[in-house]
């Protein structure tokens, strides 16, 4: 199936999202924060999501509270969450969960929690769905670092079957699997993808005397949810297999292929499937070549994309190097001011992240960075305004707020560009001093790309 890929703009995060003023403020804050945290956010096949009926979105859970934050701002429909009850006891996060209408789930693994309270949660979820609303939940139950899906819990199936099996009105309820994919889970300015799978209908079943769906029906629907979720997520048996697949994809896409995250994900899925089902000596040889090639590139401090310089002559490479870097030198003084101004906030974000990660959360380091940034960065601008206002007058203080924010953005952009240029600088140096090595690596890359073409499903 041809992918329908869309890169989300900031305005897309606010369209058709009605709610209270507090809700819209939270949406705006998180939308802006995530657009700063991620270089790019994409959706695949979001146009398949049904409208006008109840929908349950089921998702994998690789990245702590970043996952629900991303889903909250990027879904094509307004959603309510099912979140573990312990999060409702955490400062700040509990307020945010209640603002977005999240419902608590009580788990056996959480000490002191009464799982009997889940019946009320399931009742409210069913009521919401039958009213045409939508909920989002993570069937794995916990955030994790496993390279594959964990076994799905039964909560999604029980809610779905309970909602469609009461009454005789032939209620149409759909489940939509959504795969969450990150180019790097915690790195600042990485990329994120929401891959929507094919919606499927939930059929009613006879409830028992307690009003609960039968165990066999729950087990069958849970298995179906897990099967459909696997189609839109990455699943490798080992971290080593996942790492090999990512290196292969970086090599394949380095000449301009697979520029969209949806295409990257499809390549990775196809490569991992082949990696774990085939036992071809040629494939094993290719994998060895990939790792050797990657190690050599690392030794020179370059990536496979930098080898594209081999297609140009020396004078062109030198001119391009100058044209891409001179204006960054002009921005450097402003970037230094921005870095100095925001360094206390950055350190507080880091400390806040470390503190939060030690207090019962599964994997919230990256989320804590976003939350802290939302608080500490504006606080930096306000403190700067107070200092400037004290010495130069309140008009200057007010005017300093957008200036401080602008310096912060210039610093962010400049650091990002210098980080990107570092690899290109290493490539230029290798190209100019050891051109025969550079050309050999370029030829090897091209040959490996030819062998990897079969994994590109496009």
SS3 per residue for 130-195: HCCCEEEECCCCCCCCCCCCCCCCCHHHHHHHHHHCCCCCCCCEEEEEEEEEECCCCCCCEEEEEE
Question: Who contacts 394 (Cβ-Cβ below 8 Å, separation ≥6)?
Answer: none
The winner for highest mean pLDDT among 93-102, 414-423, 440-449 is 440-449
Tell whether the model's pLDDT for residue 365 goes beyond 70.
no
Tell whether the model's pLDDT for residue 3 goes beyond 80.
no
Average confidence (pLDDT) over 391-405: 92
The winner for highest mean pLDDT among 77-86, 144-153, 186-195 is 144-153
Integer Cα distance of 421 and 31 in angstroms: 28
The winner for highest mean pLDDT among 23-27, 116-120, 445-449 is 445-449
Average confidence (pLDDT) over 5-22: 77
Tell whether the model's pLDDT for residue 363 goes beyond 70.
no
DSSP structure class, residue 90 = S
For tokens 């295409």, the residue is 263
Task: Give the least confident one: 54-68, 158-172, 366-380.
Answer: 366-380
SS3 per residue for 321-374: HHHHHHHHHHHHHHHHHHHHHHHHHHHHHHHHHHHHHCCCCCCCHHHHHHHHHH
Tell whether the model's pLDDT for residue 394 goes beyond 70.
yes
Q: ∠456-457-458 over CA atoms, to 5°?
A: 95
Percent residues over pLDDT 70 in the chain = 92
Q: Three-state DSSP class for 384?
A: helix
pLDDT band at residue 362 under the 50/70/90 scheme: very low
DSSP structure class, residue 236 = -
pLDDT band at residue 454 under the 50/70/90 scheme: confident
Cα 351 → chain centroid: 23
**In this predicted structure, what is the pLDDT of residue 225?**
97
Q: Three-state DSSP class for 93?
A: helix
**In this predicted structure, what is the pLDDT of residue 360?**
46
Q: Which is nearest to 93 in space by CA: 372, 382, 358?
A: 372
Task: Give the least confident one: 9-18, 187-196, 280-289.
Answer: 9-18
Tell whether the model's pLDDT for residue 113 goes beyond 70.
yes
**In this predicted structure, what is the pLDDT of residue 456?**
64
Tell whether the model's pLDDT for residue 2 goes beyond 80.
no
What's the pTM value of the predicted model, to 2 decimals? 0.84
The winner for highest mean pLDDT among 116-125, 161-170, 432-441 is 432-441
Tell whether the model's pLDDT for residue 227 goes beyond 80.
yes
Tell whether the model's pLDDT for residue 361 goes beyond 60.
no
Q: How far is CA 102 from CA 82, 175, 368, in A?
A: 6, 18, 19
pLDDT band at residue 224 under the 50/70/90 scheme: very high
Average confidence (pLDDT) over 433-451: 94
Q: Which residues of 111-132 are buried (b: 16+ CB within 10 A; e: fewer)?
A: eebeeeebeebbebbbebbbee
**In this predicted structure, what is the pLDDT of residue 41?**
92
Tell whether the model's pLDDT for residue 290 goes beyond 90.
yes
Integer Cα distance of 97 and 117 in angstroms: 18
**In this predicted structure, what is the pLDDT of residue 232?**
96
For tokens 């409830």, the residue is 207
For tokens 């696997």, the residue is 230
Judge residue 209's burial from the number of C-beta atoms within 10 Å of its C-beta, 0-12 exposed, 13-18 middle, 19 or more buried. Answer: exposed
**Structural domains for the chain:** 5-230 (3.40.1130.10), 239-458 (no CATH)
pLDDT band at residue 378 under the 50/70/90 scheme: confident
Average confidence (pLDDT) over 276-287: 80
* Sign of the alpha-carbon torsion through 436, 439, 440, 441: positive
Contact 232, 196 (CB under 8 A): yes
pLDDT band at residue 458 under the 50/70/90 scheme: very low
What is the overall mean pLDDT for the chain?
Answer: 86
Average confidence (pLDDT) over 283-290: 90
**In this predicted structure, what is the pLDDT of residue 53?**
92
The winner for highest mean pLDDT among 92-106, 337-351, 437-451 is 437-451
């Amino acid at each position: 199936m041809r992918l329908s890929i869309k890169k989300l703009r900031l305005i897309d995060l606010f369209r058709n999202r009605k709610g209270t003023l507090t809700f819209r403020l939270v949406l705006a804050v998180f939308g802006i924060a995530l657009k700063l945290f991620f270089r790019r956010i994409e959706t695949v096949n979001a146009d398949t999501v049904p409208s006008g009926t109840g929908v349950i979105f089921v998702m994998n859970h690789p990245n702590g509270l970043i996952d629900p934050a991303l889903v909250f701002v990027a879904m094509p429909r307004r959603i309510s969450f099912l979140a573990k009850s312990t999060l409702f006891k955490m400062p700040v996060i509990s307020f945010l969960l209640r603002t977005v209408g999240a419902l608590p789930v009580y788990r056996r693994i959480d000490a002191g929690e009464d799982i009997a309270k889940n019946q009320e949660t399931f009742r409210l979820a069913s009521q919401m769905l039958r009213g045409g609303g939508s909920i989002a939940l993570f069937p794995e139950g916990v955030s994790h670092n496993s390279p594959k899906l964990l076994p799905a819990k039964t909560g999604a199936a029980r809610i779905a079957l309970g909602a469609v099996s009461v009454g005789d009105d032939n209620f149409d309820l759909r489940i939509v699997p959504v795969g969450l994919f990150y180019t790097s889970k915690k790195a600042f300015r990485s990329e994120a993808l929401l891959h929507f799978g094919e919606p499927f209908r939930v059929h009613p079943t006879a409830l028992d005397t307690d009003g609960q769906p039968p165990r066999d029906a729950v087990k069958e629907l849970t298995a179906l949810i897990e099967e459909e979720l696997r189609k839109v997520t990455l699943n490798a048996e080992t971290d080593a297999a996942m790492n090999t697949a990512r290196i292969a994809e970086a090599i394949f896409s380095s000449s301009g292929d697979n520029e969209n995250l949806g295409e990257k994900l499809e390549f990775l899925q196809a490569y991992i499937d082949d990696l774990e089902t085939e036992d071809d000596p040629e494939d094993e040889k290719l994998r060895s070549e990939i790792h050797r090639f990657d190690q050599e590139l690392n030794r020179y401090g370059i990536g496979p994309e930098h080898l594209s310089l081999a297609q140009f002559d020396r004078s062109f490479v030198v001119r391009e190097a100058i044209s891409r870097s001179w204006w960054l030198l002009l921005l450097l003084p402003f970037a230094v001011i921005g870095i100095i101004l925001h360094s206390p906030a950055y350190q507080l974000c880091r400390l806040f992240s470390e503190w939060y990660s030690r207090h019962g959360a599964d994997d919230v380091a990256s989320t804590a960075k976003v939350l802290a940034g939302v608080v500490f960065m504006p606080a930096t601008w306000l403190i700067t305004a107070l200092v400037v206002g004290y010495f130069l007058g309140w008009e200057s203080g007010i005017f300093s707020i957008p200036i401080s924010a602008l310096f912060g953005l210039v610093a962010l952009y400049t650091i990002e560009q210098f980080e990107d240029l570092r690899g290109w600088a290493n490539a230029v140096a290798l190209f100019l001093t050891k051109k025969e090595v550079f050309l050999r690596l370029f030829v090897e890359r091209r040959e490996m790309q030819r062998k990897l073409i079969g994994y590109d499903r496009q």
